[in-house]
């Protein structure tokens, strides 16, 4: 198995690092493991068609390209878990803060969002060829207006070198991908459920236009959220969201 490259392309400004990384994949120019980092994104994209807005130069806006031909399409949520756990691990290394993963993959410190993840896949028939793993991690930004967000700098009162943070995250992510290749998925799932935001606690869950109270129990292998109130229920990805 060829190693994962540590190459990082650094851009001053780009529409979206995910778009740039996907362009490399489509042109056949992508190397397994490589990253695309941007100081500024003009159209940063979030999950479910949302925008990702970030202070230029202050934060991590990065996409890692991973060849996935070795994996089964059924394992897509394992990759999502591996990525959120990698970001959580990095944050714990930098800040000693208590970190949680809010289903499906927001990374949370002190009830505020520190990082968001957007994974886009290239699939041919039943073959999962590539994953472009976009990560927005708030590093040195101090003000977020009325958005419930935080950063490493707010949590630690320190400034970080964003390039160093990008390299550290690449190392951690590559290690977790190697663990996935070794079939350590049950370890991943255990760690994910241990870090799950509000696990065994009452939350407000939004499903369509309805918001109701329920208790978060855990997440299934294919990424469904398990909750318990009058009924035990499972929620498909993107059909429900936990309110802060």
Contact letters (x/-) for ligand BTN, 35-74, by CB under 6 A? ------x--xxxx--x-x--------xxx-----------
CB of 44 to ligand BTN, least distance (A): 4
The pair phi, psi for residue 61, each rounded to 5°, is -130, 105
Cα gap 18→100, rounded to integer Å: 24
CB of 115 to ligand BTN, least distance (A): 8
CB of 24 to ligand BTN, least distance (A): 13
- Judged by beta carbon, residue 146 or residue 157, the one nearer ligand BTN is 146
Select from 13, 12, 18, 21 the least CA-distant residue to 42: 13
- Judged by beta carbon, residue 113 or residue 224, the one nearer ligand BTN is 113
CB of 119 to ligand BTN, least distance (A): 9
Q: What is the DSSP string of 188-238?
A: HHHHHHHTBTTBTSEEEEEETTEEEEEEEEEE-TTSPEEEESSSEEEE-TT
- Segment holding 5, helix H or strand E: none
Cα gap 207→223, rounded to integer Å: 16
Report in angstroms the alpha-carbon separations of 53 from 65, 67, 80, 116, 141.
Answer: 22, 28, 21, 11, 11
Q: Please tell me the count of residues contacting ligand BTN according to CB under 6 A.
A: 20
- Judged by beta carbon, residue 80 or residue 227, the one nearer ligand BTN is 80
- Judged by beta carbon, residue 120 or residue 179, the one nearer ligand BTN is 120
CB of 17 to ligand BTN, least distance (A): 4
- Judged by beta carbon, residue 89 or residue 106, the one nearer ligand BTN is 106
CB of 113 to ligand BTN, least distance (A): 7
Cα gap 216→192, rounded to integer Å: 13
Cα gap 106→135, rounded to integer Å: 10
User: Going by C-beta distance under 8 Å and a sequence separation of 6 or more, which residues neighbour residue 88?
Assistant: 99, 100, 101, 107, 195
Using CB atoms, what's the residue nearest to ligand BTN? 116
* Residue 17 sits in the site that holds ligand BTN (CB under 6 A): yes
Cα gap 100→116, rounded to integer Å: 12
Within positions 79 to 138, which residues make up the interface with ligand BTN, using CB under 6 A? 106, 116-118, 134-136
CB of 232 to ligand BTN, least distance (A): 28
- Judged by beta carbon, residue 16 or residue 170, the one nearer ligand BTN is 16
- Judged by beta carbon, residue 63 or residue 95, the one nearer ligand BTN is 63
List interacting residues with ligand BTN (CB under 6 A): 16-18, 41, 44-47, 50, 52, 61-63, 106, 116-118, 134-136
């Amino acid at each position: 198995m060829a190693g994962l490259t540590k190459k990082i392309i650094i851009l001053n400004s780009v529409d979206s690092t995910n778009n740039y990384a996907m362009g490399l994949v489509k042109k056949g120019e992508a190397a397994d493991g490589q990253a695309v980092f941007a100081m500024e994104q003009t159209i940063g994209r979030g999950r479910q068609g949302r925008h990702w807005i970030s202070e230029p130069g202050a934060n991590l806006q990065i996409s890692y390209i991973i060849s996935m031909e070795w994996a089964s399409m059924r394992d897509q949520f394992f990759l999502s878990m591996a990525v959120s756990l990698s970001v959580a691990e990095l944050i714990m290394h930098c800040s000693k803060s208590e970190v949680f993963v809010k289903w499906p993959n927001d990374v949370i410190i002190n009830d505020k969002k520190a990082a968001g993840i957007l994974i886009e896949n290239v699939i041919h028939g039943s073959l999962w060829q590539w994953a472009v793993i976009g990560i927005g991690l708030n590093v040195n930004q101090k003000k977020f207006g009325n958005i419930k967000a935080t950063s490493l700098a707010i949590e630690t009162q320190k400034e970080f070198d964003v390039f160093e943070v990008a390299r550290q995250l690449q190392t951690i992510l590559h290690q977790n991908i190697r663990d996935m290749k070794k079939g350590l998925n049950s370890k991943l799932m255990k760690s994910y459920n241990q870090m799950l935001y509000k696990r065994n606690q009452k939350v407000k869950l939004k499903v369509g236009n309805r918001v109701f109270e329920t208790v978060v129990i855990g997440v299934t292998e294919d990424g469904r959220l398990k909750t318990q109130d009058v009924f035990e229920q499972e929620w498909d990805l993107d059909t429900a969201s936990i309110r802060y």
